[in-house]
Chain A
Amino acid sequence: MIRKVILALGLTLLGGCAHVGVKPWQRDILARNAMALDSEGNLSGYHDHIYFSKEGATGGRNASGGGCGCN
């Protein structure tokens, strides 16, 4: 089910993609460090590790989470 939902969502997004976005010189705000999708550096690794060792769910934001015997 989830696969169908994401497929539909993905196709919808892609369909709209060609028409949305910014020009290269409008990237001033997007260029801020805080706007990077992975702006948290080592902290995101810590969060992944803590949540991976205490919760049943993992993954999504990235594919990491494995690699230890804590789960």
Chain B
Amino acid sequence: MQLIETGAGPVRKLGRIAAGLSMLSANLLGASAALAQDSGEDEPQVVVHDLMKEPAPGPNTYVYDSSILFYKESGSRVQAVEPVFNVQNYLANGSIISGNFTFDTLTGATPNGATPSTSDQTFNSIVREKTTSTQVTSTGASGGGTVTTIPGTAYAKSSYTVPARTLPLASFHDHRFAGNGGLSWLANPDTRLNVGLGASVERDYTSFTANFGIARDLNQKNTTLSLSVNLEEDISRPYNGTPSPFQELNSQIGGGNDTKATYGVLAGVSQTLARFWITQVNFNLSGSKGYQADPYRIVSVVDPVSGAPLDYLFESRPRSRTRESVYWGNKLALGPTVADVSVRYYHDTWGINSLTAEVSEQIPLGGSLYIKPLYRYYHQTAANFFTYYLVNGNALPAYASSDSRLSRFNANTIGGKIGVRVFKTGEFYVEGESYRQTGAHTVANAPGQLSGLDLFSGVHAISVMTGLRLRM
């Protein structure tokens, strides 16, 4: 055995490593001693972050969410099937790359805007012949319509008849493909930036969106301030061209495509109020300029005495709209359950004021299953140019639309979700809900026959959504 003593000189001149270790060790033991003094907090030793939540996903983790929506309105109105695929890639440096793909198929019928009548109503219009094949399915008859070519022209006459005392509907069929991608990254440990681009394409409508956002954590990540800017450019390409405001239905449309530009800003604060409570307040302002009417929607012109339809005009809406909303959301852990409570107040320059309140509660049943009942209340006032009909002989207003989305109504959503943990890190979920709009069915002082007809065109819809979310 050989015992060699090193570095035992009278003066210890430490090297880089030894000197560093000396400092680190002193810091460690000093801090530990301070902790032992300050043992008031009973701090849990290991707290697991739940899966699939940032920042918990590990380095280079993918989260996939694949789902499908089945949506059906009663009264043979709209039916939709909408598969969505979403992927997020969490990188080790904190960046998140995301992509989202949606494919919609819509079929059925939607109100054409005319009032019902005590007699059958026939809707004659002039359509572009080159689009006839799609035209028949897009705004064709409810219960059978005809399309007759006009010889020597590129146009055809379209005609369909709606029975008496029935809300006039026009059938349609459409597909939509939408995709968007986003990138979010940490500018520094407390500041996250994100950019996103998206596009949505239908046969008669294309939309491009871009957004840029910044979120900053303060106060030990208990407060997050965020600001995002959203830009949207929409191109409307109606099958028969864009009608002029109040153009007669049975006339040749001269207008081509039209566009709309939207600029929005959203400023938000989220704040952890307690161990069991996180709250969020957002203010959202957006302005749209351009074509905002529905190019297929008409308004009935009725006789001031009998109330019978005399003519049908395409609707007219302002080309500018500014929307403001304030949203307050909360997540509250109540024992093992988590409640989500939110309210929103909304106002726009078209005169719509709206209040939305939503509450849901996630209730675990055992370790891998939960249920989540939900309820949503929605109320809106009518846009100031909303009307069910125009009265013949009165001066035309600047704007008029009979779109039920611009009317005064309430809506109630009742639903529930079931989630099951699968494959250790995944979740399978099913949600079903009923959405019902209610409102006034008659108008005071309606002329003649209209006082006895149901003018309300709100919907009742059932939807079922199911999907699988996996993290790997």
Q: Decide if A and B touch, CB cutoff 8 A.
A: yes
Size band of the interface chain A makes with B: 35 or more
Interface centre among A14, A54, A58, A71 (most CB of B within 10 A): A54
Q: Which residues of chain A from 13 to 63 have a CB within 8 Å of any chain B CB?
A: 13-14, 17-18, 20-37, 39, 41-43, 45-46, 49-51, 54-63
Pair A2/B324 contact, Cβ less than 8 Å: yes
Main secondary structure of the interface of A (DSSP, over half): loop
List the B side residues contacting A36 at CB < 8 Å. Answer: 53, 331
Closest-by-CB residue of A relative to B463 is A50
Main secondary structure of the interface of B (DSSP, over half): strand
Which of these, B67, B102, B219, B264, contacts A43 with CB under 8 Å? B67
Pair A60/B346 contact, Cβ less than 8 Å: yes
Pair B271/A20 contact, Cβ less than 8 Å: yes
Which of these, A17, A29, A51, A61, contacts B271 with CB under 8 Å? A17
Closest approach, in angstroms, between the C-beta of B318 and any C-beta of chain A? 13
List the A side residues contacting B52 at CB < 8 Å. Answer: 33
Pair B47/A42 contact, Cβ less than 8 Å: no
Pair A14/B467 contact, Cβ less than 8 Å: no
Which of these, A28, A34, A46, A71, contacts B82 with CB under 8 Å? A46
List the B side residues contacting A13 at CB < 8 Å. Answer: 269, 271, 281
Pair A62/B469 contact, Cβ less than 8 Å: no
Pair B204/A60 contact, Cβ less than 8 Å: no
Pair B352/A56 contact, Cβ less than 8 Å: yes
Residue B454, interface by CB 8 Å: no
Pair B271/A59 contact, Cβ less than 8 Å: no
Query: What separation, in Å, do the CA atoms of A68 and B234 have in the docked complex?
Result: 8
Contact with A along B45-80 (1 / 0, CB 8 A): 001111111001000000001110101000000000
| Residues of chain A having any CB pair with chain B under 8 Å | 2-3, 5-6, 9-10, 13-14, 17-18, 20-37, 39, 41-43, 45-46, 49-51, 54-63, 66-69, 71
In the assembled complex, 21 residue pairs joining A and B whose CB atoms fall closer than 8 Å, in A order, are: A2-B325, A6-B281, A13-B281, A20-B271, A21-B223, A28-B44, A31-B49, A34-B370, A36-B331, A41-B86, A42-B65, A42-B66, A45-B102, A46-B69, A50-B461, A57-B325, A57-B378, A59-B264, A59-B325, A63-B286, A67-B178
